[in-house]
Amino acid sequence: MKKWLPLISVSLVSILLGIFIGILVARNRNPDIPFNSEQWQAGNIAQTLGGDVDPFRHRMVNDLLKGRTLFGKRKREIVSLLGEDGTFDDNKMYYWLNQKYDCVVCIDPTSVENLVLEFNSKGFVESAYVSRYVRSR
């Protein structure tokens, strides 16, 4: 039994080290990146999914929200900053961030993320957040 102890110890340490490295890699797989207006505008749904490029807006949105860049701006300023691909509904404006699929040949996404901007009665952004739609099974 004593001769197996070092082998079992090395195996256990190797497994734990592998799990730890796997967690680190998974956490850093999609790190946030700084907001850049030009890159953001090049990252709409037609140019990313339609052009077979990995979406990246969802990696910029935290920096955009954290910096409070959007608050107090009018719609025309938002369009200048984020581009014209946003959709407007009542007092809200939506910008597509990302969507995920369960399989390669699926048509409908299982989840969709949008940046939502809410405008007050004077036409200024008063709220900005990320909405996540998850399709029920």
**Tens-place pLDDT, residues 96-107:** 998 888 777 777
In a domain, 5, yes or no: no
Please give the model's pTM, rounded to 2 decimal places.
0.72
Residues 6+ apart with CB under 8 A from 109: 99, 100, 101, 135
pLDDT at 94: 96
| 20 pLDDT above the threshold of 70 | no
Give the strand pairing for 87-89 and 111-119. unpaired
In a domain, 79, yes or no: yes
In a domain, 18, yes or no: no
From 10-14, 32-36, 44-48, 95-99, the region with the lowest mean pLDDT: 10-14
Q: Mean per-residue pLDDT for 53-81?
A: 91
From 71-75, 84-88, 105-109, the region with the lowest mean pLDDT: 105-109
pLDDT at 30: 62
Q: Which domain holds residue 124?
A: 38-134
- Residue reference for tokens 């796997």: 22
In a domain, 50, yes or no: yes
In a domain, 14, yes or no: no
8/5 Cα distance (integer angstroms): 5
Q: How many domains does the chain have?
A: 1
